[in-house]
Chain A
Amino acid sequence: MSDRHNKLLFDAIGYNSLEMTKKSLCGHDTTDPLLLTYERKGGHVGSYLSFCVKAEAWIVFDYLISLPCIKHMTPEVFYKEHAIWLFHARSDRAIETVFLLEKSPLNIEMFYNYLFDAEVFQRASANLVTVLSKLGYPSHEWHKHKWLKNFKRPTHSSQSARLINVCFYYKQYDDALNIMMLSKIMRDKNFTKMCEHNIFSFANKTLCDQMQLAFKSGELKLDYLDAAKLSERDSKQVLYFLQNVISYQELEYNINDLTAYACHRLDKKLLHEAFTAILTKVSYKIVINSLINMRDPLLKINNALPYLSDNMEDRVYCLLYDAQQTLYNKQVKIRLHPKLSALEVDSIFNWQHSDPQFTALLRYFYHHYAPSVFVNKISDIRYIKTLIHIGVSPMDIIPYINNKENCAEILSTYNGSTV
Chain B
Amino acid sequence: MSTETKILPGMPKRVETGPIQFGEDWPGSFERGDNVAGGFSIAVMALHQAITTLNKETLSDSAKETIIGMAMMMINDYEGRLQCLSDAFWRKDLAELKAKLLLHKPVS
Contact = CB atoms under 8 A, between A and B. Distances in A.
B34 A7 contact: no
Contacts of B34: 6, 41, 43, 47
B14 A55 contact: no
A54 interface: yes
B14 A11 contact: no
A164 to B, nearest CB: 30
A42 B45 CA distance: 26
Given A3-B86, A10-B37, A10-B40, 9 more contacts: A3-B85, A4-B89, A11-B44, A14-B41, A47-B34, A51-B38, A51-B41, A55-B42, A55-B45
Given A10-B37, A42-B10, A3 B42 contact: no
Given A6-B37, A7-B37, A14 B42 contact: yes
Q: Is the interface of A mostly helix, strand, loop or mixed?
A: helix
Interface string A1-25: 0011011001101110000000000
Contacts of A48: 38
Contacts of B10: 42
Interface in B23-55: 34-35, 37-42, 44-45
B42 A51 contact: yes
Contact of A13 (B14, B35, B41): B41
Interface in A25-52: 41-44, 47-48, 50-51
Contacts of B14: 42-44
A4 B41 contact: no
B57 interface: no
A48 B37 CA distance: 11
Contacts of A7: 37, 87, 89-90
A47 B35 CA distance: 8
10 contacts: A10-B38, A10-B40, A11-B41, A14-B42, A15-B45, A41-B34, A42-B14, A51-B42, A55-B41, A55-B42
Bin the interface of chain B by size: 10 to 19
Interface of A: 3-4, 6-7, 10-11, 13-15, 41-44, 47-48, 50-51, 54-55
**Among B38, B86, B90, residue most surrounded by chain A Cβ atoms (within 10 Å):** B38
A44 B10 CA distance: 16
> Closest 6 A-B residue pairs measured CB to CB?
A14-B41, A10-B41, A51-B38, A3-B87, A7-B89, A14-B45
Contacts, number: 46
Contacts of A13: 38, 41-42
A55 B44 CA distance: 11
A42 B35 CA distance: 13
Given A11-B44, A42-B14, A44-B14, A54 B38 contact: yes
A81 to B, nearest CB: 10
Nearest to A11: B41
B13 to A, nearest CB: 9
Nearest to A54: B42
B47 to A, nearest CB: 10
Contacts of A44: 14
Nearest to A51: B38
A41 B15 CA distance: 12
Given A42-B10, A47-B34, A3 B45 contact: no
Contact of B89 (A3, A14, A51): A3
A4 B76 CA distance: 22
B41 to A, nearest CB: 3
Contact of A4 (B40, B44, B87): B87
Nearest to B40: A10
Nearest to A4: B89
Contacts of A14: 41-42, 44-45
Nearest to A81: B14
A58 to B, nearest CB: 14
**Among B37, B41, B44, B90, residue most surrounded by chain A Cβ atoms (within 10 Å):** B41
